[in-house]
Structure 1
Amino acid sequence: MGPLPEISAHRRDSAGVTGLHEAVASGAEYVEIDVRRAGDGSLVVHHDPEVGGLPLRRLSRARIEEITARPVPAVGAAMEIIARGARGHLDLKEPGVEHETVGLAMEIFGPGRFVVTTRDADVLRCVKKEFPDASTALSVGRGMLERGAAGDLAPLRAIRASGADMVALNHRLARVGVLRQCARAGYPVMLWTVNAERLIRRFLRDPRVAVLVTDRPRTALALR
C-alpha cells in the first residue's frame, strides 16, 4: 500500500478565528478555508453566501461581524495563521476572488504549499493560466441535487477541461464509482467531508485517496 492520505482540517464558520488556530494545532497537513468577497471588497473566510438572511456581497466585513457576533477572518490574516504550521486548502466559493486569493497565497505560502479548490471550471482555468505553479482541484459533487449535477457521476471531461491537477470529490460519489473513474484517469483525489469514524477508517486505507478532508482532524490523525 502507498502513502496514507494527508489530512485537511475543515474549519466551520462558527469556530471563527479560534477554529483556525485549533485546526493548525491539530497537526493536519492542510487547513481549509472558504473564500468569498464581502460588499466592501474585502476577501473573507465564510462558507455561506448569506449571513442573517442578507447577501454577504452587500455587507461590509464589519457589518458581517456585527450580525454574526464573532470575528470573521480576513483571508490574508487566515493564511498567515495557517502558514505557521500547515499548508493552505483554499476553497473558492465564487468567481472573481481567484486572482487576489492566489496572489496572496503565492506570497504567504509559496508554490507547492497550498491547493486551490472550486466547483467552477472556468475559475480553475484562469488560475492555471495566471499561476501555472499553483496546485488546483476541481470540486465534484458540491450540489448533487442541482440541475446538471448528474454530470458529477461522469466528471472526467469537465476535470480535463478545467486543467485541474486533482479532484476534490464528495465522499458519497466515491462510493458509487466516481473515485474509481478518477483514479483510473490518474487524478489524485481529495475526499470531502468525511466525518463518520467508520468512513474515516475506510478511506484512510484507500490508496486512491490523496487527501482526506474532515471536521475531525485529530480523530483522523489518531486513526491514521
Structure 2
Amino acid sequence: MDQGAARDDGVPPLPGAAAAISAHRRDEAGLAGLRDAVASGAEYVEIDVRRTADGVLVVHHDRTAAGVPLNRCSYARVRELAPDPVPRVTEALEIIGGRARGHLDLKERGCEHEAVELAREAFGEDGFVVTTREAGSIALIKRDFPGVTAALSVGRGLWERGAVRDFVPLRAIRECGADMVALNHRLARAGVLRQCARAGFPAMIWTVNAVPLMRRFLDDPRVAVLITDHPGAAVRLRDHRRR
C-alpha cells in the first residue's frame, strides 16, 4: 500500500486532515469511564488489552494487580486484587461499538487473534486501529488480517532496552508492515515525526495532555490521531480552532 495515498479505512490521511482524537486511559474508571469517553466526542476510544491466567481478555494498563502478574491470576482473582474496575474486553467493546471507533492497545503477545476478531465483530474491519510496542504482534496481525489498520508504538523510557532505536524507527516500522506509527510526543518533537512523515507513515501522537501541545499537534497535518487523557478538552479545542 502507498502510505501517502488517500485511505478509505476511516483513518485520517497524512496531508490536510484535522487530527482525530483518541480517548486514552478512560478505562481506569471501568465501564463508566468508557461511557464518558464515548460521550466526549472523541473519534476513538482506547482500551489496554491483557490476558488473565484463565484466558480472559481484560482491559488493564499495568502488567500486575496489587503486585501480582495478571497472567498468574484468574479473572475473579484480578477483580479482587485490583483497586480499580477491570472490565472484560467484550464488555468494553459493547459500550464503544457503534458509538466511536476502537483503539486497541495490545500490552502483551498472545492476544492478537482473539482481540482482533472481537474488534472486527464490534467495529467492522475498518472501524478500529490496533497499537502495540511489539513488532512481532504487528507482523502477525498484518499477515492474518491485512485489512486491519495497525500502528507500531514507539517511545520507551531512556532507561529501557532499545530506547536508542526509537529515534530511528523506520526500519522496524517497515519490517513489521505497520500502516502507521504511534509516537511518544517527546520523540515526535525530537524529529522522529519528521522522519516518519517523510517516509509516508501517518502518526498517532501520545499522550498529549497539555493545552499548548494539543494546539501544536492539532495544527500539524502530519498528525492523524491525537491521543489524550482529556478527550473532551481536545475535541473542544480542535472544534474551536476549526471555526
| Shared fold, TM over 0.5 | yes
SS of equivalent residue, structure 1 residue 146: coil
Q: Which amino acid aligns with 1:101?
A: A
Task: Find the counterpart in structure 1 of residue 61 from structure 2.
Answer: 47
Task: Find the counterpart in structure 2 of residue 150 from structure 1.
Answer: 164
Superposition pairs for residues 12-161 of structure 1, below 5 Å?
Answer: 12-161=26-175
CA-CA distance at 1:76 after TM superposition:
1.4
Query: TM-score, normalization: structure 1?
Result: 0.97
Ranges of 4+ aligned residues in structure 1 off by more than 4 Å: none
CA-CA distance at 1:84 after TM superposition:
3.1
CA RMSD of aligned residues (A): 1.2
SS of equivalent residue, structure 2 residue 173: helix
Q: 1:179 aligns with which of 186, 193, 203?
A: 193
CA-CA distance at 1:11 after TM superposition:
2.2
Higher mean alpha-carbon deviation, 12-21 vs 110-119, is at 12-21
CA-CA distance at 1:12 after TM superposition:
4.2
Structure 2 unaligned blocks of 5 or more: 1-14, 239-243
SS of equivalent residue, structure 2 residue 61: coil
The answer on whether the counterparts of 1:99 and 1:127 sit within 8 Å (CA) in structure 2 is yes
The answer on whether the counterparts of 2:27 and 2:34 sit within 8 Å (CA) in structure 1 is no
CA-CA distance at 1:145 after TM superposition:
2.6
**For 1:110-136, what per-residue CA distance to the aligned partner results, in whole angstroms no more than 9, with x for missing partners?**
111000100111111110111111000
CA-CA distance at 1:68 after TM superposition:
2.1
CA-CA distance at 1:70 after TM superposition:
4.4
The answer on whether the counterparts of 2:27 and 2:47 sit within 8 Å (CA) in structure 1 is no
Distance 2:84 2:179 in 1: 36
The answer on whether the counterparts of 1:119 and 1:142 sit within 8 Å (CA) in structure 2 is no
Task: Find the counterpart in structure 1 of residue 3 from structure 2.
Answer: none
The answer on whether the counterparts of 1:144 and 1:152 sit within 8 Å (CA) in structure 2 is no
Task: Find the counterpart in structure 2 of residue 214 from structure 1.
Answer: 228
Q: Which amino acid aligns with 1:98?
A: E
Task: Find the counterpart in structure 1 of residue 6 from structure 2.
Answer: none
CA-CA distance at 1:148 after TM superposition:
1.7
Q: CA 1:156/1:205 → structure 2, altered by over 3 Å: closer, same or farther? A: same
CA-CA distance at 1:2 after TM superposition:
1.6
**For 1:166-194, what per-residue CA distance to the aligned partner results, in whole angstroms no more than 9, with x for missing partners?**
00000000111000000000000000000
Task: Find the counterpart in structure 1 of residue 215 from structure 2.
Answer: 201
The answer on whether the counterparts of 2:28 and 2:85 sit within 8 Å (CA) in structure 1 is no
Number of matched pairs: 224
Structure 1 unaligned blocks of 5 or more: none
**For 1:128-149, what per-residue CA distance to the aligned partner results, in whole angstroms no more than 9, with x for missing partners?**
1111110000000044431221
SS of equivalent residue, structure 1 residue 40: coil
Q: Which amino acid aligns with 1:148?
A: G
Distance 2:218 2:83 in 1: 37
Distance 2:122 2:30 in 1: 20
